[in-house]
Structure 1
Amino acid sequence: MSIDLWLEADDQLPEDALGVLLREAGAVQFELENGSVGFAFQSGPNAFPRGADGAPRIKAEDPRGLGFAVASRCVFRPTSGEYDECMADLRQLLESVVERTGAHFVVSFQLEETLFLNSGKGLQCL
């Protein structure tokens, strides 16, 4: 069973900009069989960015009052035993997102528990 951490962001963080930030955070881009791309961090987790897939509603169960239209999503999938390292990489990426784009976003564990968000007031860890 994999653990998925979901980033859902507004239009201030389009998929291509997220790819740039992932590379700048040290992730290496790779191509999937279906032609989409993924990113691998040296510490183990993989990230799979994509657009909103025609579903602009936030899927996280508790978005903490945020109500933006989702323009991009990214799944972070830690490898077995790499959860702490994944969280460190994810936090570094989110800090960069806040500083460089100002995007509103929510990050949830399995779309159930909200872990991080930015409502325009900076990165909040919950």
Structure 2
Amino acid sequence: MSLDIHLEADERLSITTIHKALSELGVLDTDNNDHTAEGIFESGLSVSAAYELNDHTLYAEDTKGMTFPVAIRCYIRIKWPEPEGFSAFGDLERFIKILTTKTDANFVVSFQYESTLYWRNSDGLQVA
């Protein structure tokens, strides 16, 4: 079983910032270049980020009042079962929190675009 989570961010979030966050969190496997960033955590959480070139629509149903053209999309997948002693949701939270320290970008993190889990706006990081 797996869960799909989406991070949609404005132009202030860069691939370089995502690279740095993944690196600082010690992801197991990374595949990074100037246009994409990918990483897999020991918990089974995987992150795949890319610049949005064609469709800048914010798809999260609950945008918490924000409207912005999406410049970066991160596809985050949690695969179960987790190895003993690891937490994919804990790794997700750590990833989101470290991004918040590295950028002032607005973003929305949602479960399958339906339920907002985290969002960052001018008030800082918020948790649902």
Report the CA distance between 1:37 and its aligned residue: 5.1
Partner residue, 1:66: 66
Matched position secondary structure for 1:116: strand
In the TM superposition, structure 1's runs of 4+ consecutive aligned residues that sit over 4 Å from their partners are: none
**Alignment RMSD (CA, Å):** 2.2
Partner of 1:27: 27
Counterpart in the other structure of 1:81: 81
Shift of 1:2: 3.2
Judge conservation of contact 1:23–1:29 (CA < 8 Å) in 2: no
Kindly tell me: are residues 46 and 96 of structure 1, through their superposed partners in 2, closer, same or farther at Cα, counting changes over 3 Å?
same
Q: Counterpart amino acid of 1:24?
A: E
Q: Which consecutive unaligned segments of at least 5 residues does structure 1 have?
A: none
| Cα deviation digits, residues 27-62 of structure 1 (max 9, x gap) | 13444xxxx652110121111111114111111111
Q: Structure 1 residues 37, 103: CA separation in 2 closer, same or farther (over 3 Å shift)?
A: closer
CA deviation profile, 1:51-98 (whole Å, cap 9, x unmatched): 11411111111111110111101111111134x822211111111111
> Residue 66 of structure 1 contacts residue 119 of structure 1 at CA under 8 Å; is this kept in 2?
yes
Match of 1:110 in 2: 112
> How much has 1:120 moved relative to structure 2?
1.8
The CA distance in 1 between the partners of 2:124 and 2:37, in whole Å, is 28
Q: Distance in 1 between matches of 2:6 and 2:91?
A: 14
The residue identity in structure 1 corresponding to 2:77 is: R
- Structure 2 unaligned spans of 5+: none
User: Percent identity between the aligned chains?
Assistant: 34
Q: Is the 8 A contact 2:29 2:41 kept in 1?
A: no
Structure number with higher strand proportion: 2
Q: Give the Å deviation of 1:118.
A: 0.5
DSSP-derived class of the 2:118 partner: strand
**Residue identity in the other structure for 2:67:** G
Q: 1:17 to 1:62 in 2, by over 3 A?
A: same
Partner residue in 2 for 1:51? 51
Equivalences, count: 123
Aligned AA (2:78): P
Deviation at 1:9, TM superposition (A): 0.8
